[in-house]
Structure 1
Amino acid sequence: MFPLQRNRRLRTSKAIRSLVQENTISVNDFLVPLFVVEGNGIKEEIASMPNYFRYSLDLLSAEVKELWHLGLKSVLVFVKVPDNLKDNKGTEALNPEGLMQRAIKTIKDAVPEMLVMTDVALDPYSSYGHDGIVENNYVVNDPTTEVLANMSLSHAQAGADFVAPSDMMDGRIETIRMALEEHNFVNTGIMSYSAKYASAFYGPFRDALDSAPGFGDKKTYQMDASNRKEAITETLLDIQEGADIVMVKPGLCYLDIVRDLSNEIETPIAVYQVSGEYAMLKAAAEKGWLDHDSVMLEQLMAFKRAGASIIASYFAKDFAKLL
């Protein structure tokens, strides 16, 4: 009771504020998304994601080495697949010499200790731009999960440490887990996009990979933004099916979901600070409306405070350099 208790005593200096700080962020918290393209000598800025790039394999090695030098130890790999290799069954996703498989090997050759996670979904490979096989303008579930399992197996064979299914098909975690177990990839982890919402914040990412849906939207498989309890149901099922890490995506608008899951489960929780969140801050900072670094740090701290132990963010390098 005031005046015996004055809360401001614990804010009077930087030293005491640091001493009683409840949450901290370090480079160990980050998962760095990487965009990979075919070709040579390519470091191509993504127009809607300022200062973020697509890399060809020959330049990917140098980027990975720089990340490691900055203390960033984990990457999440996405590939931009040429249109002529896209079809409705994700055939190219299973190519042992495909771009993703070569990217995994390139990263491991450059920095063997780097933790490599890989995107598992059909949208980069789909002629329809959807996360699964399309029949009669509908993304079918069970045939898609079989392809995702084979895709995951191909990534593990190429050297991936974790596969990260981002498709939101029912039962895909168990199907992937069993495929990995049956082929003795018992130590290959699964980071499941367990609560991935059908969000309007993904636009710049779809520009980066040319993976926008060719018809309709993704609301028949990604979650409704108005739903909260469903996220717990989805996540608990994924854990039961063998997920080692679960993810909430997007980030800032879904901090309540991160906190709900943190209160409910012991499994590590990742959050994805998505392309739209990145682009908004970059644009506002460019116009001088917001202080870039201060807002970036505040947003990142919000993820940790909500209960995330892993942050997938396009700001990872910015944070590491600032640190």
Structure 2
Amino acid sequence: MIVNSVIIEKIEYDGTLKTVQLTSDYTGQLIIAFPDEYTDKRSGPFYFQNRQYDKVFRKMARANGSRRLDPRHFQRNELLTQLRIPWRNIPTERNEFSYYALSLPEYAIPLEVVISNPHTKSRMKKAVIKDKQKKCYVIYIECRSRFGVFSFDLDCTFKNARRQEFDKYQYSDDDLIEDVYAHYDAWEALASDNERDQVNIYMEGNNVEIYTVQQAAAVGRNAQANNTHMSQIKQDQQRLEPEKILESLVKLREEMMKLANSPEQVIDVAKIAEAEIAVNEGDIPKAKNILSTVGKWTYDIATKLGVALVVEQLK
């Protein structure tokens, strides 16, 4: 895969982060491959066709050193580590793109990985690959934009694991790119508003059905979008009384606390508590954004409890 540049980061258990950026200006065309493609030894999360980039990467990694994240971006307890990394204004060129890669600590297993657009708060696609050679998970983000710069927020919850658990574990969620060469929705990132309108008109004129939702679309007569959590602010939802929303959230959280028995479920309990705080502070849109990220387990409990107000927020 030919790219314009790569941004490579490595987080450690103590909250130190090392960052290296390579561009095609250094030593010619930048062609990369991913950990599950070859078995040759490499220095970072990419294979470089031009081996000179491996040398440049090692040299820059030594020179750049590491910096420690502050508590707003890195928090750790005995069970879990929560990481938040914001990136803004990564330069992009039309018809070209860059790749971002974050390596987790050795043997760490990701419990939740969310990449979001800082402007719209919508979720973005990513790849999460187990790097067996480096004994870590790597999060990859394809950076494309028709505006000349690309920004994202990365939120990750992970835990330390033993070798046996790491080997057996496989991360999965609804926002994964299964094929890193597929360039998911790349045409939308590169097309202008007028060009996108023309594509949609063409599809409609040729009986290609487009089902557009806030964060994803299923295209084609038999296409489906499965296990997708969407958040839509409706007129009637905006008129809901905060007291009723809060009452529903409290009821849901208390039931979830009784049933939670896994790290993922504990994370969802914490999200409901965070949504409660947002409602108490009068920030209903923030509460809705939080609720849109919870998993199916929470949705099922809300439905079972008959908490209609919260269920509406989760749809």
Instruction: Tell me if TM exceeds 0.5.
Output: no
Q: Counting strand residues as a fraction of each chain, which structure ranks higher?
A: 2
TM-score, normalised on structure 2? 0.26
TM-score, normalised on structure 1? 0.26
Structure number with higher relative contact order (C-alpha < 8 Å, ≥ 6 residues apart): 1
| Structure number with bigger Rg | 2
